[in-house]
Amino acid sequence: PLIENPLIKYNDKFLLLHTQLTLASLQTFIYDLLRRDDPEKFMDSFGSIFENLVKDIFDESKIRYIDEQSLKKHLPQENKVVDFLIPHEAANIFIDAKGVEIHERGMVTLSHSEISGRIKNSVLKTIEQAHAVNREILNSPKFITDFKSESYILCITYKNLMLGNGTFLEKSYATDGVSKIRKNHDDAYQIPDSHIFCISIEEFEYLMSSCKEHGRQPYEVLRYAVEMNRTPSQTVFLFIQHLEKFFGQVTKSEMIRKTGLDLLERMTENIPGLKQNVNLVNE
């Protein structure tokens, strides 16, 4: 509730409760406001904007990637495709940007079948698309990149939907959906459940920016996360926890940081209490 309403109106003025609460609210304020009246219509338009944000993060990281349009040129016309592919001599990473949301309360109150239905067009679709592309990579020697026995899937959502990794999905509310996908694809190119991760755009930002800062590759982090998840005591639910353990300290996107500071600077003239605390953002 405090993140949704970080300001208190008092004597015709808005008082700031805490800078961090305000910043957390700002991260999704416009998103929440625009989708409030007609979520479905908004999400139809938001998808391309979200994909462009992912692309901007890619470009800033300087890590090589192949986008959807380039992939389509090398795929059969009706073949399903992911938004991005990170090719590497050690492993391929299939990435789909899904601007979807399940309200936090819904994750608790909805039945397994209802949750499965809501993620059908997001996480399960990502898994299916990744396998469809991986199949063509295996069967087409002249494809844009080589087939790798070690591959990963990333489903990126705007908000953190707390969906965990593929193992959690398969064992909880997406058992039937994952099983159906498995039956439709040969074992030769299947990507293990443990190699599937559902992460927020913020976690993706930290992943790519930290890789750039430390000279590492994304597959190294995913390989580490898979290894850690094999041991119950090392398993974590939020991907950011793997990032913090792998890098020690995550790095934020400079592009996004500057954009956020610019927005905050413009707000300081209208929100009492914010200007004297804006220095906290720069620390």
Tell me how far CA of residue 54 lies from CA of 50, 70, 182, 243, in angstroms. Answer: 6, 16, 28, 18
Q: Are 272 and 76 in contact (CB under 8 A)?
A: no
- Domains along the chain with CATH numbers: 1-37+253-283 (no CATH), 44-251 (3.40.91)
Low-confidence stretches of the chain (pLDDT < 70) are 1-4, 99-121, 269-283
Q: What is the pLDDT of residue 112?
A: 55
Q: What is the pLDDT of residue 280?
A: 45
Q: Which residues contact 216 (CB under 8 A, 6 or more apart)?
A: 210
**Cα distance between residue 94 and residue 58, in whole Å:** 13
Does this model's pTM top 0.85? My answer is no
The string of pLDDT tens digits covering residues 108-142 is 445 555 555 666 567 889 999 999 999 999 998 78
**Cα distance between residue 267 and residue 64, in whole Å:** 36
Q: What is the pLDDT of residue 281?
A: 43
Q: What is the pLDDT of residue 120?
A: 56
β-bridge mates for residue 7, sequence order: 16
